[in-house]
Chains A and B, each alone.
Chain A
Amino acid sequence: MKIFYTIILSTFILTSLSAQVNRSIMPAPGPSPEINLEEPQQFVLDNGLRVMVVENHKLPRVSMQLAIDNPPIAEGNKAGVTSLAGSLLGNGSLSIPKDEFNEEVDYLGASISFSLRGAYASTLSKYFPRILELMADAAINPNFTEDEFSKEKAKLITNLKAQEKDVSAIASRVQNVLAYGKVHPYGEYITEETINNVTFIDAKQYYTDLFVPENAYLVIIGDVDFDNVKALVSTYFNDWVKASPPSLSYSRPRNTQYTQIDFVDVPNAVQSEIYVQNLVDLEMKDPDYLSAKLANRILGASGAGRFHQNLREDKAYTYAAYSQLSDDKYAPGRFGATASVRNVVTDSAVVEFLKEFNRIVKEPVTEKELENVKAEYIGSFVMALEKPSTIARYALNIETENLPKDFYKTYLERIDAITIEDVEKAAKKYFKVNNARIVIVGKGSEVVENLEKITYNGKALPVNYYDKYGNPVAKPNYDVILPEGVTIKSVVDHYLEAVGGREEVANITSYLLNAEAQTQGMTLELNVKKTNKDQFMQDIKMMGNSMQKQVVNGDKGYMTAQGQRKDLSTEELAKIKSESSTFPELNYTDQTVSLEGMEMIEGKNAYKLKVSDEKVSYYDAESGLKVKDVTVVQTQGQTIESTVEYKDYKEVSGILFPFLLLQNAGPQTFEFLVKEIKLNEGVTDSDFE
């Protein structure tokens, strides 16, 4: 009795002890759950159809999948024929008219879909026999009509049109073309023209050639009884005539010789679609298949991957950055890393992609990273077993990918055995850092300039230009065409009106400006004074000492720089005079300036006026305000471009002036904040002595 008490007591203590969790410590996992890898039951029909059945009675439903694993086939100038032929399937059978067929499937609450690569159906188990029968009948004895054919053609064309401006549709087409070439089955694409080349006869022929049982698998999963399935399938698929598909071979596409950017201009894009790709020779049965998958997992196949962590979590360039590594038994597979990024960080994102790409090839991954991805793989493997379709998929892979029979039974062991060296070897083999194409689809006028500045391994990264179909083109000209009716006068008038009115501007007799900029921890002061009597003074001071001063008074003038004084020549004098006017626009005429077109400045249209051989000014098309001056000076055989951007316009005595001036010369940028502007006061003749 006493003993009994103690036991109760100790259990009590135990439970209350376990109640005190320490939340500062991450809980450790419990013992690994047991897994139970079943195998589907199988049988083969005389015509070659292989059938797999997974009985699972948890829910009263059944799914059935017919998968035809044919080698890929190029459709050439009839691209789209496979898709068209597939869309003609499912319109009833030779014995059941289309409307009756659709009505019955819907009535039973089921669904069936078809393509030239197979069919899929799902149903409540009580209607399984009938749905299987309908699926088989519509697949083997399809009801092809010319009427449906022309309707599907029209739909396909409208669909193509709907995708014409879709950035991701364009991106995926060009990626394929550049990776595989246009004549390869994986590189060819559909156009309105190729669809129009397809005849009704073509579509029927493709069906006859390709929809055959030689490489076909039927997978039935759910609340069924194996013997019953066997009887039903044998009956319904008995008429499917034994035949093999045509076998064609294509020249194997190769990787590019050097890493490059391949750019496609889509002016409506608000993000750039970046895809870094190279081809790989990888099949599931390769001994280093799992090592390669783990390497890719570390690099970017999940949210914990390096790409996502760097480009999203650290830099916030994108919503998501991932990579895939695909295997393929018929043709090269592909490594691809992708992100949609905002226009302004396109070049930076490319740099980060390349950085990570290089790092995984050149440095071994850490023990911790490898441990983590192994756990991811093991977790996915374990959790996938929740779905009955998983064991069917595994069995199908063993057949179609020529895998050893115990591929999945030894899967966890093989994952566990992978070493850092294995991952490094696979990374070097499959991530071709020196033979990659960086396909970018985006708004050229905003991103190309910076893309051309990217260097890789010490050299400029070549940028090639392509159209939306992957054809090489010359670099597009991003100057915007001028709308009709815009003249020098209209630009000038709009500007003067925007700042406060021509008359008001003309009435200014003097102007005073004080501004400051910070550079290397020091304050740079800018003082400017001007009058309408050809008087001008500009003094730049650092820490209170004059660095550079220019003074013009009528037809005399001088310049001092760090204590040295020099009188201005007649030529220099004229130039300063012409440029020093507060509103030179008052004097612009068709003779003195020219309208050069329109360009995008920070994403907005701006008119471009050439005001001298050295200088152009930009005026915002919408607000009319001056946004930028660009001056080009030739000195000692070099061309130096300096720009001033005008921002933050504020009103002073009824007239708008920019209160933020961004001055850019060579590598330096000064940000002048205007402290004070005075009109018609604070300036005397003595300022210009």
Chain B
Amino acid sequence: MKRKIVSLLLFLLAVLSIRSQQVEYEEYDLDNGLHVILHQDNTAPVVITSVMYHVGGKDRTEGRTGFAHFFEHLLFEGTENIGKGKWFEIVSSHGGQVNANTSQDRTYYYELFPSNNLQLGLWMESERMLHPIIDQIGIDTQQEVVKEEKRLRYDNSPYGQLWPSLGKSLFKVHPYKDPNIGYMKDLDAATLEDVTAYNKKYYVPNNAVLVVAGDIDITEAKNLIKDYFGPIPKGEDIVRNYPKETDISLEERATVYDANIQVPLAGIAYRIPGFRERDAYVLDMISTYLSDGKSSKLYKKMVDDQKQALQVGAYNVGQEDYGMYLVFAIPVGEVTVDQLIVEMEEEVNKMRTELITEKDYQKLQNKFENSFVNANSSIAGIANSLARNYLLYHDTSLINKEIDIYRSITREEIQSVAEKHLKSNQRVILEYLPKEKLDN
């Protein structure tokens, strides 16, 4: 009898540990087109209310870059019922945390609260969507703040120009060519009319997803959501028709100078498919194979054995329409940029021409399993994944199934994707060099 209980316990435990990885959620649309996703987890007294809008750096017209990021700032200025400059105070005085971030593809706003403030979080996000106050004073203030942000993140920071220069090198016509934060002259030129029109076009329920997750009661949450978000009018449908890039078929070279560095950086960059494509998942695996961990190929060779590089990396910067893929190294001592390029290309070439070993393949699978388990470890992380999977990947269930995609990728597929997207005639060589002071 005793033994039976033990085995039953064990069985329960096993079931539990499998189920705990499964993120349960419920999703539906309001009449105004707002998509809602709810996830209940009552283990900690925390709730998150978040809204992801399908608007990012790429959604702009020529001469008006950086608008989505500018709005990230502007939409904290106040609403018809939230006084100017009171947003942060309201959140913090209820023990909450607030932030927002903008990529080329989407903008994400969220409040994290002790769970007795669910209604407050919903009220705030619905206020922002229904009737934010957009006026000249707010525009003037936030223009200056954004300029400081640009100086801090890009102009005054070592290697700060890396990602903007990559966009510039890899894109000729698609809006990804311009920095997400925009050109300051465009922000300066923005009029109140421009800004108001942008708000009306993109910050509407049918272009957004609301996620409520954590210590909630589902029925209560649904009622509150209906009350606060239901009355928000639906916006016009948004048509995106951005110019297509023609394939890069001849190697290009770009040189960038940065006054904040002493040690250069050598990069090989490729334009790759958008992140919904299966090939983009394969490229994630290639990145991990090349540079994640001390036994990864580039690290082992260039940092450890040959001691040519201080740092190496292979990154897949996933984006909706096209991704950017960068393999880079920072040299030690007198090693030149060209030497680093040769060494990196040698490893990339092996990816194109040889199958990775069975053992390395298994290692990749273990690494992806580990990051899958860790990906959904906090309420805030789960909310972000749910919003992203729905809005950008068009499949909310990826939160539980993404690992299956990686599991299904074969060694042969890894080679063929490398051969397809990482050929040397498709690359842009990036020389990122110290800028010497001119006079003083």
Q: Do A and B bind each other?
A: yes
A residues apposed to B, CB below 8 Å? 15, 18-21, 23-27, 29-35, 57-61, 99, 102-103, 105-111, 122-124, 151, 154-155, 158-159, 161-168, 223, 267-271, 302-304, 309, 312-314, 316-320, 340-342, 371-373, 375-380, 382-383, 385-387, 445, 478, 480-481, 483, 598, 605
Measured CB to CB, the nearest residue on chain A to B96 is: A379
Q: Mark B422-440, 1 if CB is under 8 A from A, else 0.
A: 0000000000001001011
Judging by beta carbons under 8 Å apart, are B46 and A340 in contact?
Answer: no
Distance of B315 from chain A, by nearest CB (Å): 18
Report the 5 A-B pairs with minimum CB-CB distance, sorted nearest first: A379-B95, A33-B45, A316-B144, A109-B366, A109-B370
Across the interface, which residues of B come within 8 angstroms of A478, CB to CB? 440
Judging by beta carbons under 8 Å apart, are B88 and A162 in contact?
Answer: no
Query: Is the C-beta of B405 less than 8 angstroms from some C-beta in chain A?
Result: no
Which of A33, A154, A223, A342 gathers the greatest number of chain B CB atoms within 10 Å? A33
Judging by beta carbons under 8 Å apart, are A313 and B93 in contact?
Answer: no
Across the interface, which residues of B come within 8 angstroms of A58, CB to CB? 20, 43
Across the interface, which residues of A come within 8 angstroms of B262, CB to CB? 161-165
Task: Knowing A33-B215, A372-B93, say if A382 contacts B45 (CB, 8 Å).
Answer: yes
Judging by beta carbons under 8 Å apart, are B439 and A483 in contact?
Answer: yes
Task: Knowing A19-B223, A27-B119, A124-B369, say if A166 contacts B260 (CB, 8 Å).
Answer: yes
Judging by beta carbons under 8 Å apart, are B259 and A383 in contact?
Answer: no
Judging by beta carbons under 8 Å apart, are A151 and B307 in contact?
Answer: yes
Query: Is the C-beta of B152 less than 8 angstroms from some C-beta in chain A?
Result: yes
Task: Knowing A319-B145, A483-B439, say if A33 contacts B116 (CB, 8 Å).
Answer: yes
Across the interface, which residues of B come within 8 angstroms of A18, CB to CB? 223
Which residue from B21, B115, B117, B127 sits with its C-beta under 8 Å from A60? Answer: B21
Across the interface, which residues of B come within 8 angstroms of A380, CB to CB? 95, 97
Judging by beta carbons under 8 Å apart, are A319 and B152 in contact?
Answer: yes
Of the four ranges (under 10, 10 to 19, 20 to 34, 35 or more), the interface on chain B belongs to 35 or more
Complexed CA–CA distance, A386 and B226 (Å)? 28
Across the interface, which residues of B come within 8 angstroms of A59, CB to CB? 20-21, 373-374, 376-377
Measured CB to CB, the nearest residue on chain A to B147 is: A342
Complexed CA–CA distance, A378 and B310 (Å)? 43
Across the interface, which residues of B come within 8 angstroms of A109, CB to CB? 363, 366-371
Distance of A246 from chain B, by nearest CB (Å): 32
Which residue from A271, A341, A383 sits with its C-beta under 8 Å from B114? Answer: A383
Judging by beta carbons under 8 Å apart, are B151 and A340 in contact?
Answer: yes
Across the interface, which residues of B come within 8 angstroms of A110, CB to CB? 370
Judging by beta carbons under 8 Å apart, are B89 and A304 in contact?
Answer: yes
Q: Which of B114-129 contact A (CB under 8 A)?
A: 114-120, 123, 126-127
A-B CB contact pairs (8 Å), 25 listed: A23-B81, A23-B130, A57-B13, A59-B377, A61-B370, A102-B300, A106-B296, A106-B363, A109-B370, A151-B307, A154-B333, A158-B331, A163-B262, A164-B262, A165-B260, A270-B156, A271-B155, A304-B89, A316-B144, A342-B148, A372-B89, A376-B95, A379-B114, A386-B379, A387-B378
Across the interface, which residues of B come within 8 angstroms of A320, CB to CB? 152
Measured CB to CB, the nearest residue on chain A to B123 is: A27
Distance of B114 from chain A, by nearest CB (Å): 5
Q: Mark B350-377, 1 if CB is under 8 A from A, else 0.
A: 0000000001001100111111011011
Across the interface, which residues of A come within 8 angstroms of B226, CB to CB? 19
Judging by beta carbons under 8 Å apart, are B439 and A598 in contact?
Answer: yes
Judging by beta carbons under 8 Å apart, are A385 and B151 in contact?
Answer: no
Across the interface, which residues of A come within 8 angstroms of B336, CB to CB? none
Measured CB to CB, the nearest residue on chain A to B95 is: A379
Q: Mark B88-112, 1 if CB is under 8 A from A, else 0.
A: 1111111111100000000000001
Across the interface, which residues of B come within 8 angstroms of A378, CB to CB? 95, 114
Judging by beta carbons under 8 Å apart, are B379 and A312 in contact?
Answer: no
Distance of B255 from chain A, by nearest CB (Å): 19
Judging by beta carbons under 8 Å apart, are B152 and A271 in contact?
Answer: yes
Across the interface, which residues of B come within 8 angstroms of A375, CB to CB? 92-95
Judging by beta carbons under 8 Å apart, are A304 and B116 in contact?
Answer: no
Query: Is the C-beta of B332 less than 8 angstroms from some C-beta in chain A?
Result: yes
Judging by beta carbons under 8 Å apart, are B439 and A341 in contact?
Answer: no
Query: Is the C-beta of B347 less than 8 angstroms from some C-beta in chain A?
Result: no
Q: Which of B237-293 contact A (CB under 8 A)?
A: 259-263, 292-293
Complexed CA–CA distance, A341 and B294 (Å)? 39
Distance of B35 from chain A, by nearest CB (Å): 21
Across the interface, which residues of A come within 8 angstroms of B21, CB to CB? 59-60
Across the interface, which residues of A come within 8 angstroms of B93, CB to CB? 304, 371-372, 375-376
Across the interface, which residues of B come within 8 angstroms of A33, CB to CB? 45, 114-116, 215
Which residue from A107, A155, A383, A481 sits with its C-beta under 8 Å from B440? Answer: A481
Query: Is the C-beta of B55 less than 8 angstroms from some C-beta in chain A?
Result: no
Distance of B224 from chain A, by nearest CB (Å): 7
Across the interface, which residues of A come within 8 angstroms of B437, CB to CB? 267-268
Judging by beta carbons under 8 Å apart, are A106 and B158 in contact?
Answer: no
Query: Is the C-beta of B330 less than 8 angstroms from some C-beta in chain A?
Result: yes
Task: Knowing A18-B223, A60-B21, say if A154 contacts B293 (CB, 8 Å).
Answer: no
Query: Is the C-beta of B227 less than 8 angstroms from some C-beta in chain A?
Result: yes
Task: Knowing A34-B45, A110-B370, A304-B93, say if A158 contacts B310 (CB, 8 Å).
Answer: yes
Task: Knowing A166-B260, A379-B114, say if A340 contacts B120 (CB, 8 Å).
Answer: no
Query: Is the C-beta of B171 less than 8 angstroms from some C-beta in chain A?
Result: no
Task: Knowing A30-B116, A480-B439, say if A223 contacts B88 (CB, 8 Å).
Answer: no
Complexed CA–CA distance, A340 and B126 (Å)? 33
Distance of A36 from chain B, by nearest CB (Å): 9
Distance of A101 from chain B, by nearest CB (Å): 9
Complexed CA–CA distance, A166 and B126 (Å)? 42
Which of A166, A445, A483 gathers the greatest number of chain B CB atoms within 10 Å? A166
Measured CB to CB, the nearest residue on chain A to B93 is: A372
Judging by beta carbons under 8 Å apart, are B45 and A268 in contact?
Answer: no
Query: Is the C-beta of B113 less than 8 angstroms from some C-beta in chain A?
Result: yes
Distance of A134 from chain B, by nearest CB (Å): 13
Judging by beta carbons under 8 Å apart, are B227 and A383 in contact?
Answer: no
Across the interface, which residues of B come within 8 angstroms of A29, CB to CB? 94, 114, 116-117, 120
Distance of B156 from chain A, by nearest CB (Å): 5
Distance of B305 from chain A, by nearest CB (Å): 9
Query: Is the C-beta of B17 less than 8 angstroms from some C-beta in chain A?
Result: yes
Distance of A128 from chain B, by nearest CB (Å): 12
Measured CB to CB, the nearest residue on chain B to A382 is: B114
Judging by beta carbons under 8 Å apart, are A103 and B295 in contact?
Answer: yes
Judging by beta carbons under 8 Å apart, are B156 and A99 in contact?
Answer: no
For the complex with contacts A106-B292, A124-B366, A483-B439, 4 further pairs of A-B residues with Cβ separation under 8 Å are A102-B295, A124-B370, A319-B145, A319-B148
Measured CB to CB, the nearest residue on chain A to B126 is: A23
Judging by beta carbons under 8 Å apart, are A318 and B369 in contact?
Answer: no
Measured CB to CB, the nearest residue on chain A to B42 is: A33
Across the interface, which residues of B come within 8 angstroms of A107, CB to CB? 295, 359, 362-363, 366
Measured CB to CB, the nearest residue on chain B to A265 is: B440
Measured CB to CB, the nearest residue on chain B to A125 is: B17
Which residue from B20, B44, B371 sits with its C-beta under 8 Å from A386? Answer: B44
Judging by beta carbons under 8 Å apart, are B307 and A376 in contact?
Answer: no
Judging by beta carbons under 8 Å apart, are A35 and B152 in contact?
Answer: no
Judging by beta carbons under 8 Å apart, are A385 and B378 in contact?
Answer: no
Query: Is the C-beta of B16 less than 8 angstroms from some C-beta in chain A?
Result: yes
Judging by beta carbons under 8 Å apart, are A340 and B367 in contact?
Answer: no
Query: Is the C-beta of B149 less than 8 angstroms from some C-beta in chain A?
Result: yes
Which residue from A105, A164, A167, A383 sits with its C-beta under 8 Å from B95? Answer: A383
Query: Is the C-beta of B191 less than 8 angstroms from some C-beta in chain A?
Result: no
Judging by beta carbons under 8 Å apart, are B145 and A23 in contact?
Answer: no
Which residue from B95, B151, B227, B260 sits with its C-beta under 8 Å from A21? Answer: B227
Judging by beta carbons under 8 Å apart, are A319 and B155 in contact?
Answer: no
Across the interface, which residues of A come within 8 angstroms of B112, CB to CB? 383
Distance of B205 from chain A, by nearest CB (Å): 15
Complexed CA–CA distance, A48 and B148 (Å)? 50
Judging by beta carbons under 8 Å apart, are A106 and B367 in contact?
Answer: yes
Complexed CA–CA distance, A79 and B92 (Å)? 42
Which residue from B92, B368, B440 sits with its C-beta under 8 Å from A267? Answer: B440
Measured CB to CB, the nearest residue on chain A to B263 is: A162
Across the interface, which residues of B come within 8 angstroms of A27, CB to CB? 117, 119-120, 123
Query: Is the C-beta of B141 less than 8 angstroms from some C-beta in chain A?
Result: yes
Q: Mark B313-339, 1 if CB is under 8 A from A, else 0.
A: 000000000000000001111000000
